[in-house]
Amino acid sequence: MLLRQLEYLVALARERHFARAAAACYVSQPSLSAGIRRLEHELNVSIVRRGRRYEGLTPEGELVLAWAHRILAERDALHQELSELRGGLTGTLRLGVVPTALPAASLLTTPFCESHPRARVSVDSLSSAEITQRLGEFELDAAMTYLDDESLRGARRFPLYEERYVLLTPADGPMATASTARWSQAASLPLCLLGARMRNRRIMDECFAADGAVAAPAIESDSVAGLYAHLPGGRWSSVISHAWLHMFGVPDGMRVVPLEGPARGPRVGLVTGPDNPPSVLAGALLRVARQAGVREALDELLKTHLDIGRGDGS
């Protein structure tokens, strides 16, 4: 059995198409098909359901795929450990991040690269479901995601910060002089929020409901950047996580108002996959996270913006 044959199988399962899998492996389609047939011959099982096109894997093929992910991850871990022994960590850290945590990702990735200048980081914006799948298939070394996700059973978790929600509102609007606001008050404003399919929006809807309100935003976006793009005009308000201030700050003509209410924000943390111990790259990121002070940095940033909004930072 060759590792290359396992790579062919992983690519085919990911692409669900022989030609695309071959292109991803930089080989011809006949070469990829022949490699998988040799793997079937060596293991004496049928791995692929064959028809006129790719139709999925057999039950035996699903088992072989799980082992392929694990074997290839172990190969990568061996390369990483050897590189560390040779004088510095190399390789690419594969980090998945839920979209609403992306603005804070640089608080980890920058010190990681400073500590390991020969290593690289690949950041993918993924849903929490995609993160769970890719961690399980060893396609990610680590992820920044919500720690209360029940699908992360068996994963190692390191808390980074708790989302603190604040109201971004026009400085000359109805909440211009408020020192705090309730979720029910925020719901009455012309709102721009993330789309209802996003996990962060569902969490916010629970916070609105806990204060007896329902948010009916006039504008919804599937990204934090798309949401922020609507705010400088002075018409819209939005409820945001304080972590977004790290990247986007406070648009001109707006101010930050703390939200009060019965609900608390969820914890966001660093999660590593089922490999035990975690990969060398994931372990290095965890060490960086323990020293990065992400929670303290975000809380201090929020305090600074609140002070400026009250006139204390002028």
Which three-class secondary structure string do you get for 274-294? Answer: CCCCCCHHHHHHHHHHHHHCH
**Residues forming a β-bridge with 239:** 167
Rounded distance between C-alpha atoms, residue 77 and residue 283, angstroms: 11
Average pLDDT (85-104) is 85
Average pLDDT (199-222) is 92
Of 186 and 7, the one with more pLDDT:
186
Give the gyration radius of the chain's Cα atoms: 23
Please state the domain extents for the chain: 3-69, 88-160+268-294, 165-265
What is the dotted CATH code of the domain comprising 165-265? Answer: 3.40.190.290
Average pLDDT (30-50) is 88
In CATH terms, 3-69 corresponds, of 1.10.10.60, 3.50.50.60, 1.10.10.10, 3.40.50.720, to: 1.10.10.10
The pLDDT tens digits for 135-179 are 888 889 999 999 987 777 777 889 999 999 999 999 988 988 888
Average pLDDT (213-218) is 94
Please report the pLDDT score of residue 80 as a whole number. Answer: 66
Q: Residue 314 above 50 pLDDT?
A: no
Average pLDDT (224-243) is 91
Tokens of 17: 């198409």
Average pLDDT (278-303) is 90
Are residues 166 and 239 in contact, defined by beta-carbon separation less than 8 angstroms? yes
Q: Residue 76 above 80 pLDDT?
A: no
Q: What is the value of pTM for the model shown?
A: 0.72
User: Degrees (nearest 5) of the Cα angle 167, 169, 172?
Assistant: 145
Reduce the DSSP state of residue 15 to 3 states and report it: helix
Please report the pLDDT score of residue 247 as a whole number. Answer: 92
Q: Residue 49 above 60 pLDDT?
A: yes
Neighbour tally for 152: CB within 10 Å: 21
Of 306 and 186, the one with more pLDDT:
186
Q: Residue 282 above 50 pLDDT?
A: yes
Going by pLDDT thresholds of 50, 70 and 90, the confidence category of residue 309 is low
Neighbour tally for 114: CB within 10 Å: 9
Q: Residue 228 above 70 pLDDT?
A: yes
Question: Does domain 88-160+268-294 correspond to CATH entry 3.40.190.10?
Answer: yes
Q: Which residue has the tokens 């719901």?
A: 187
Q: Residue 73 above 80 pLDDT?
A: no
Same fold? 88-160+268-294, 165-265: yes
Q: Residue 63 above 50 pLDDT?
A: yes
Of 284 and 153, the one with more pLDDT:
284
Rounded distance between C-alpha atoms, residue 22 and residue 26, angstroms: 6
Please state, for a pLDDT cut of 90, what percent of the chain lies above it.
43
Return the sign of the alpha-carbon dihedral for residues 194, 199, 202, 208. negative
Tokens of 59: 């039950």
State phi, psi for 51 to the nearest 5 degrees: -145, -145
Average pLDDT (95-121) is 93
- Nearest partner of 97 among 59, 53, 143, 137, judged by Cα: 143
On the 0-12 / 13-18 / 19+ scale of CB atoms within 10 A, 181 is: buried
Q: Which residue has the tokens 């108002």?
A: 257
Return the sign of the alpha-carbon dihedral for residues 110, 114, 115, 119. positive
Q: Residue 254 above 70 pLDDT?
A: yes
Please report the pLDDT score of residue 263 as a whole number. Answer: 64
Return the sign of the alpha-carbon dihedral for residues 271, 165, 113, 96. positive
Return the sign of the alpha-carbon dihedral for residues 208, 209, 214, 216. positive
